[in-house]
Amino acid sequence: GAVVSQHPSWVICKSGTSVKIECRSLDFQATTMFWYRQFPKQSLMLMATSNEGSKATYEQGVEKDKFLINHASLTLSTLTVTSAHPEDSSFYICSARDGRGGDTGELFFGEGSRLTVL
Amino acid sequence: GQNIDQPTEMTATEGAIVQINCTYQTSGFNGLFWYQQHAGEAPTFLSYNVLDGLEEKGRFSSFLSRSKGYSYLLLKELQMKDSASYLCAVLDSNYQLIWGAGTKLIIKP
């Protein structure tokens, strides 16, 4: 199946700093990528839908100025957590849909990035 | 509103069979997904159903009844490595994935 690579897997940062997480589709072009956040023992929560070449669509309650999403190419989307605070500590996961499967194509997930803000 | 219901936790014995149910109420339906997620890892795809009936894939099978808004994931010959959370997700009319909270499956020897 298709491969989505996410980097870094682990990141620890100080409160007030910014952290960038990359999501790459390695063997297919992803016009749409999704960013999720998952707190311990909870389900995935969609944060935003990232569309190549246009602004991301954020879910209600997600601050777009705090979680900056850039989808500059068909294989790369980035999530930047700006001025991170301890409550932003979470597991962040990206996914992409392989367009070859049509609108209902399988979702492929990155490995996830565990962010700890001290 | 949109809603996906699945049991919070289930326990089964190694070698046995377990069925994880999922009921949904969504605005439109364009398919139902099952994902497996081990603790601390990203979800991995298990199955996709868009038509009624049973889809079998090795030890795992997934069933869908659109008229009942119901699906189940059947796991046979359980192995210890099957201990994980199983997530049910429905693609609604806007092609948005609506996620269930997941079912934590505990396998005992």
Q: How far is A66 from chain B (nearest CA, A)?
A: 23
**Residue-by-residue pLDDT tens, chain A, 118 positions:** 668 899 999 999 999 999 999 999 988 888 889 999 988 777 788 899 988 888 899 998 999 999 999 988 889 999 999 999 999 999 999 998 766 555 455 678 888 999 999 9
More confident of the two residues A63 and B94: A63
Cβ neighbours around A48 below 10 Å, total: 22
A86: preceding bond cis by omega (within 30 degrees): no
Q: What are the chain A neighbours of B102 within 8 Å (beta carbons)?
A: 43
What's residue A101's pLDDT? 52
What's residue A99's pLDDT? 62
Contact A117, A62 (CB under 8 A): no
**What are the φ and ψ backbone dihedral angles of B9, each rounded to 5 degrees?**
-150, 145
What's residue B12's pLDDT? 96
Sorted by sequence, the CB contacts under 8 Å of residue A39 that are 6+ apart come out as A45, A90, A91
In a 3-state reduction of DSSP, which class is residue A87? helix
State the Cα–Cα distance between residues A109 and B7, nearest whole angstrom.
Answer: 24
Residue type, A48: A
Average pLDDT in the B53-60 region? 94
What's residue B84's pLDDT? 96
State the Cα–Cα distance between residues A15 and A115, nearest whole angstrom.
Answer: 11
Residues of A with CB under 8 A from a CB of B: 1, 6, 34, 42-46, 91, 93, 95, 103-104, 106-112, 114
Contact A104, B91 (CB under 8 A): yes
Tokens standing for A33? 């990528």
Torsion of CA B81, B104, A91, A15, to 10 degrees: -120
State the Cα–Cα distance between residues A43 and A14, nearest whole angstrom.
Answer: 26
Reported confidence tier of residue B1, pLDDT bands at 50, 70, 90: confident
A·B CB contacts under 8 A:
45
State the Cα–Cα distance between residues B54 and A20, nearest whole angstrom.
Answer: 42
Question: Hey, are the CB atoms on B48 and A112 less than 8 Å from each other?
Answer: no
Half-sphere exposure of A7 (CA within 13 A, CB side): 5
Res. B78: pLDDT tops 90: yes
Element (H, E) at A21: strand A19-25
State the Cα–Cα distance between residues B25 and B69, nearest whole angstrom.
Answer: 7
Cβ neighbours around A78 below 10 Å, total: 18
Q: Which one of A3, A10, A32, A43 makes the best mutation probe of the B interface by having the most chain B beta carbons within 10 Å?
A: A43
Q: What are the chain A neighbours of B30 within 8 Å (beta carbons)?
A: 103-104
